[in-house]
Amino acid sequence: MAQFADRATSVCFEGVAKSFDGRPAVSALDLKVAPGELFGLIGPNGAGKTTTIKMAVGLIRPSLGRILICGHDVQRDGRESRRHLGYVPDSAHLYDRLSGSEMLQLAADLHGVPAERRRQRIPALLEAFDLAGVEGQLIMSYSRGMRQKLALCAALLHDPQVLFLDEPTVGLDPRGARQLKVMLRSLCDNGHTVFLSTHALEIAAALCDRVGIFSEGRLAACGTVAELELAGRRRGQLDAGLEDAFMAVTGSQDGEASGLLAALRT
Amino acid sequence: MAEVSWGSLPASPRQVQVLLVASSRILWNAVWNRGRTRRLGVLAGTVLGACLWVAAIPLIGSLVGGPLAAPRAQLLTTLIGALVLLSGFTLVTSVSFAVASAYFAKDVEWLLTLPLSPRGILAHRLASQLALGISVGAVLLGPVLIAAGIRTGTLALLPLAALALVALLVMPVSAGLLLVVLAVRAVPASRVRDATAALITLLGFSLAAIEIAGHAPSQGLRWAGAINSLGAGWLHSVWFPPAWTARALTDAWRGDWLGCLGWLLPSVLLALAVAGLVLRVSGPLYREGWARAQMAPQRRRRRVRSWRRIPPVLAVLRKDWRTLRRDPVQLSQLILPLALFAVYLLAPRSADNSQVLFRNFPLWYGPLTTSAFAALFVASGLGLRAVGTEGRQFWCLRSAPLGQGQLLFGKLALPLLVAAGSSLALMWAAELRARLPLGQIGFSTVLLLLCVSGLAALATGLGAIWPRLDWSDPRRAIGIWLSMAFLVVGSAYIGVCMVALTVPLVIARLGTAGSDLGSLAACAVCAGAAAAVSLRAAYLRLGRIEL
């Protein structure tokens, strides 16, 4: 287990904000995620989920505030913070003219994975994600799901303390999605932290220890699934689930669905 | 239920019109609706370009005066030769354009799911290519046509002359599209694209090599003679379309508008017939070919040879090298200038030329200068694109624990090695041919290595400052303006290096000792300064790039 498992937080956002050309994408985000926690970020399109994750992995600079990964400031100590994280974007663009195994070798070299460790880990990950046997082919011949799985293998190769996943189940077949869920749960049980964004509320409900609901760049609600459902019930819905809580928090109403149906009928 | 045959759907002009309007809007948004700064830049560029375009007209007028005054038969021969070359060039480039736009454009998949005829999509691609060709032609050939019109007092017939040229170019463009559609039926589209790059490279090399090998300082360009002999052969026949266009242009410049119309009409009719026939034939084949291209991925089996751990800088170098050697398009672009420089250095006449140009310099000076310029093109092809070729995959490196310095040096390694290796090979070949003593070869080797190191660093740094990371085609990883700017900056850098290392040699000739060391120091200072400035700027810029 990684050396930071005993610390109180693996991921810490302190007053983080980001704006693009004056338009706020994320505002005043304060959030802490503990070691061993599986945290899910849900929200409508354009709510700021991907921007939040990109800021955490150092692909985008926050306009305000700071982000700590295992105690390391992403901006000031980016290299050290990136040692402790793995990242899979929503659409994994990989090097088309490398083979799957060459891509994993590259990831292992960039993270400084020792030879003996990669000898054990690469075949195991390829086997776990059903990529064994195709790792010699160039990535240009891979399907979207295979690319996504390969990106997951690359992100897990160095055994990161924190794993950031942006829409991880998009493109995966049901078997791959199931394997991923089992693996994420197992990672968290071993003290690793998983921070994911998803549109699939059932995944968030079934998998996440805590869920944050993003709306218009703000963390509008955050808590366990049970707490969010309770909040939904307090708003008057007796059998409120996570979907109802999501609709209530993001301001989406059934009236919008009626409007959509009416538009489809015209 | 009856099965729908997509290929048999009519290509309604309305569909093509809708697609063309959408393309125009995309172009307009890209040029004009991307912020105030961009708009000002476009305005300034347009005004400057228009001024240069207008200023070129009188200059070209003085150049074309002689040929226009020549007897009609001679003018016709030259024109036919030039138009045959133009048609051939258009055919080759249209193949490349057709394969990219019909099979690799981002919108093709979506368009094929719509109730559009494949013929309509191809008609749109054909029209887009013609519009692009006409725009490029207006910029390059417009001043020639206007200057000729002014010179002969027949400016009123300019539209007829322009139409004759457009009608001629419709034919190779259509033929290129048909060739691609037929080829993709037989082999995957990616292979056709790679083969196209090799074809263009081979053609460019052959034409340029002939010119370089036969060129001597006292002679004019061999092209003029070659064009005349091309136009005088069987292509002169009235049954060949370029000859019709040439006759239409000649008649227009003689003020004979009836004669011009007489040659123009069959050209236009033939162009329409060829385009229509190509669309009719290729429409049904296109959809099947596209589907095959999707289902026929490139399969290659490779085994992991070693689990050995290597430093991140070397890992980036190895990744770039693997990517380069598996990409025929990039390889072609890299090999072409090197092959041309090899022809230039090793051609029988080049030794004489070199002796004329560098007779007051040491014997290694000529090969060193030429090899440094060969390295300039390698640096432009690899170094300038080093960061840009990461494109949308850049997240792989940026989310890894890799420092900006490591990333920069990893990216510098490949252009440096290839530029140094290839330019050294060229220089050694020329020096051994000139039987230079080993001491001089060694000295010039160190000088070239210093000069090329600075050049590669300059290219990598500049490319990292302004990379394009949103491309879908690696050839677009760097903007055309940056490429041109680098050729100017890089040439200036080589010039400064060559002058700086010459100064100690001149001083030595006046009686002071230590010329060799002085030259080395001067070259090292130039290389070090260029590398330090560009890499530092790139280092700072890399830290600010957001993905």
- B264-296: pLDDT as tens digits: 999 999 999 999 999 988 888 888 887 776 654
What the block records as the tokens of A189 is: 């049980």
CATH of A11-84+160-265, one of 1.10.10.10, 3.40.50.300, 3.40.50.12780, 3.20.20.150: 3.40.50.300
- Whole-angstrom CA distances from B8 to A203, B13, B25, B279 are 46, 15, 29, 11
- Whole-angstrom CA distances from B312 to A88, A113, A158, B248, B409 are 20, 11, 14, 63, 10
Q: Residue A185: what are its φ and ψ, rounded to 5°?
A: -65, -40
What the block records as the tokens of B212 is: 């370089």
- For chain A, the structural domain boundaries read 11-84+160-265, 95-159
B225-263 residue pLDDT tens:
666 666 566 666 677 888 889 889 888 888 888 888 998
Residue in chain B closest to A101 (alpha carbons) equals B304
Cβ–Cβ < 8 Å for A125, A79: no
Does B302 reach chain A within 8 Å, measured CB to CB? yes
Cβ–Cβ < 8 Å for A193, A21: no
B70-123 residue pLDDT tens:
787 888 888 888 888 888 888 888 888 888 888 888 788 888 877 788 888 899
Cβ–Cβ < 8 Å for B545, B467: yes
pLDDT, position A141: 83
Q: What is the DSSP string of chain A?
A: --TTTTSS-SEEEEEEEEEETTEEEEEEEEEEE-TT-EEEEE--TTSSHHHHHHHHHTSS--SEEEEEETTEETTTTHHHHHHTEEEE-SS----TTSBHHHHHHHHHHHHT--HHHHHHHHHHHHHHTT-TTTTTSBGGG--HHHHHHHHHHHHHTT--SEEEEESTTTT--HHHHHHHHHHHHHHHHTT-EEEEE-S-HHHHHHH-SEEEEEETTEEEEEE-HHHHHHHHHHTT-TT--HHHHHHHHHT--HHHHHHHHHHHH-
Contact map slice: B 166-195 vs A, CB within 8 A: 190
Cβ–Cβ < 8 Å for A38, B379: no
B219-229 residue pLDDT tens:
544 555 666 66
Average pLDDT, chain A: 83
pLDDT, position B458: 94
pLDDT, position B510: 62
Interface test with B, best of A95, A104, A159 (most B CBs within 10 A): A95
Residue in chain A closest to B326 (alpha carbons) equals A97
pLDDT, position B356: 58
State if pTM tops 0.95: no
Cβ–Cβ < 8 Å for A137, B301: yes
Task: Provide the ipTM.
Answer: 0.82
Binned at pLDDT 50, 70 and 90, residue A255 comes out as low
The DSSP letter of residue B379 is I
Interface residues on A facing B, Cβ-Cβ cutoff 8 A: 54, 57-61, 79-80, 82-83, 85, 87, 89, 93-95, 97-99, 101-102, 105-116, 118-119, 122, 135-138, 140-141, 154
Does B405 reach chain A within 8 Å, measured CB to CB? no
Provide mean pLDDT across the span B508-514.
60
Interface contact B401-A109, CB threshold 8 A: no
A181-226 residue pLDDT tens:
888 888 888 889 999 998 888 888 888 889 998 888 888 888 888 8
pLDDT, position A4: 40
Interface contact B547-A80, CB threshold 8 A: no
- Residue B373 clears pLDDT 60, i.e. is over it: yes
Task: Please tell me which of the candidates A59, A89, A116 has its beta carbon nearest to residue B546.
Answer: A59
Min Cα separation A233/chain B (Å): 40
Q: To the nearest whole percent, how much of chain A has pLDDT over 70?
A: 87
- Residue B297 clears pLDDT 60, i.e. is over it: no
Provide mean pLDDT across the span A75-81.
87
What the block records as the tokens of B272 is: 């329409």
Contact list in B for residue A108 (CB cut-off 8 A) is 309
Contact list in B for residue A83 (CB cut-off 8 A) is 401
Cβ–Cβ < 8 Å for A38, A185: yes
- Whole-angstrom CA distances from A265 to A37, A255, A261, B115, B450 are 45, 15, 6, 21, 72
pLDDT, position B375: 93
Min Cα separation A137/chain B (Å): 5
Provide mean pLDDT across the span B349-356.
56
> Would you tell me how many other CB atoms lie within 10 Å of the CB of residue A118?
23
Interface contact B307-A87, CB threshold 8 A: no
Residue B53's nearest CA partner among B155, B174, B138, B122 is: B138
Min Cα separation B467/chain A (Å): 16
Cβ–Cβ < 8 Å for B111, B7: no
Question: How far is Cα B370 from Cα B434, in angstroms, rounded to an integer?
Answer: 14
Task: Please tell me which of the candidates A59, A97, A141 has its beta carbon nearest to residue B398.
Answer: A59
> Would you tell me how many other CB atoms lie within 10 Å of the CB of residue B199?
14
Question: How far is Cα A244 from Cα B91, in angstroms, rounded to an integer?
Answer: 61
Task: Mark residue A130 as left, alpha or beta (left: phi above 0; alpha: psi -120 to 50; beta: remaining).
Answer: left
Residue in chain A closest to B298 (alpha carbons) equals A141
- Residue B448 clears pLDDT 90, i.e. is over it: yes
Lowest mean pLDDT among A70-79, B57-66, B205-214, B270-279: B205-214
- Residue B9 clears pLDDT 70, i.e. is over it: no
Provide mean pLDDT across the span B156-179.
90
Alpha helices per DSSP H over B326-437: 328-346, 350-357, 365-378, 394-398, 404-433
Sequence-distant contacts of A28-34: CB under 8 A, at least 24 apart: A28/A65, A28/A218, A29/A65, A29/A218, A29/A219, A30/A219, A31/A212, A31/A219, A31/A222, A32/A8, A33/A9, A33/A162, A33/A193, A33/A195, A33/A210, A34/A8, A34/A9, A34/A10, A34/A193
Residue in chain B closest to A87 (alpha carbons) equals B399
The better pLDDT of the pair B510, B38 is held by B38
Burial class for A21, CB neighbours closer than 10 Å (0-12, 13-18, 19+): exposed
Does B305 reach chain A within 8 Å, measured CB to CB? no
- Residue B370 clears pLDDT 70, i.e. is over it: yes
What the block records as the tokens of B288 is: 């099947």
Cβ–Cβ < 8 Å for A145, A171: yes
Min Cα separation B285/chain A (Å): 23
Binned at pLDDT 50, 70 and 90, residue B474 comes out as low
Interface contact A112-B309, CB threshold 8 A: yes
- Whole-angstrom CA distances from B399 to A106, A107, A166 are 13, 10, 13
Contact list in A for residue B106 (CB cut-off 8 A) is none
What the block records as the tokens of B395 is: 């997240």
